[in-house]
Copies of this chain bind each other. A is one copy, B any other.
């Protein structure tokens, strides 16, 4: 069994929770607990052997925790996910492959794109593709169209797999801590739209990518995963972009793997990741 918990911190939480586990005959084989002292916030993830009724256990645990606690026993193993894309295929294709071979830890319900060029690859994998153009419409209508499709699917997560339009606070507010983005730089360096051009001009020796939850503040949401790769003087801005795409695929895959296996906790502008 997997149990994930987040709540206000106080003395005795581990004892109270593990006491319940023990009385239910459950053997804790892996436990990660962290207290954010500045925020007085408690995070815990348990893997246990043997079985108990999940909803009874969840209620038992909630009863001993502060009233604001989030507790999930055996979180749904197969998350439902909607992807948003623009024109670039690399992150999308990687996710479609994992989805097809059932190693994603989630099911892609549909892909929504603001261009039509990625429809073909979706069709090849039997994943519905919805074209929602941002042209000849205003942002509000554009987002309303997207939200309408998304809500039909009631996904657990929305993944921006190189979706290059900036979402409004109003859209983000509908899906709090449920939108995951891949940003093509080692944030906070080179925030904004043209990181590889900036990286080239600055002459950096490493480029990176960042996966984060989307919040109202552009490129400022809680970071889930980051990676870098070395570059050198022989890389043009285009070479950096090409190299960066490999890292973007890798970082987004890593972040999704962590989120879909219930290892990522969000509080305010940071994550706790029990890797």
Contacts and interface: CB of A to CB of B under 8 A. Distances in A.
Contacts of A27: 9-11, 35
Nearest to A10: B27
Interface string A80-121: 000000000100011001001100000000000000000001
Nearest to A24: B11
Contacts of A232: 273, 275
A229 to B, nearest CB: 10
Number of copies: 4
Given A223-B203, A225-B205, A271-B233, A31 B14 contact: yes
Contact of A33 (B31, B89, B246): B31
Contact of A93 (B9, B25, B97): B97
Interface string A238-260: 00000000100010010000000
A152 interface: no
Contacts of A57: none
Given A89-B101, A186-B228, A202-B269, 6 more contacts: A30-B33, A31-B31, A34-B234, A203-B222, A205-B223, A232-B273
